[in-house]
Amino acid sequence: MGYWDVHGYDNLLDVSGWEQVRYTENVTEHISSTAHNLKYDPRPDDPDLPTSPDTSLADFWHTSEGSLNYGWSYTSHMDDTHINYASFRGYNFESAFFSRTWENLLAEIDTGNPVAAYVDSNGDGSSDHFILSV
Q: What pLDDT shows up at residue 2?
A: 92
Nearest to 70 by CA among 42, 36, 29, 94: 42
87 in the same domain as 33: yes
Quick check: 42 pLDDT over 80?
no
79 in the same domain as 23: yes
The range of the structural domain enclosing residue 51 comes to 2-97
Does residue 81 contact residue 7 with C-beta atoms inside 8 Å? no
Q: What is the mean pLDDT of the chain?
A: 89
85 in the same domain as 119: no
What does the pLDDT average to over 47-58?
88
Q: Distance between CA 128 and CA 29 in Å, rounded? A: 23
Nearest to 52 by CA among 40, 68, 66: 40
Helix/strand number for the chain, H first, E second: 7, 2
Q: What pLDDT shows up at residue 118?
A: 83
124 in the same domain as 72: no
pTM of the full structure:
0.85
33 in the same domain as 74: yes
Q: Distance between CA 116 and CA 127 in Å, rounded? A: 13
pLDDT digits (tens, 9 = 90+) for 101-110: 889 889 989 9
106 in the same domain as 62: no
Number of structural domains in the chain: 2
pLDDT digits (tens, 9 = 90+) for 60-99: 999 988 888 888 888 888 889 999 999 999 999 988 877 7
Selected residue with higher pLDDT from 42 and 55: 55
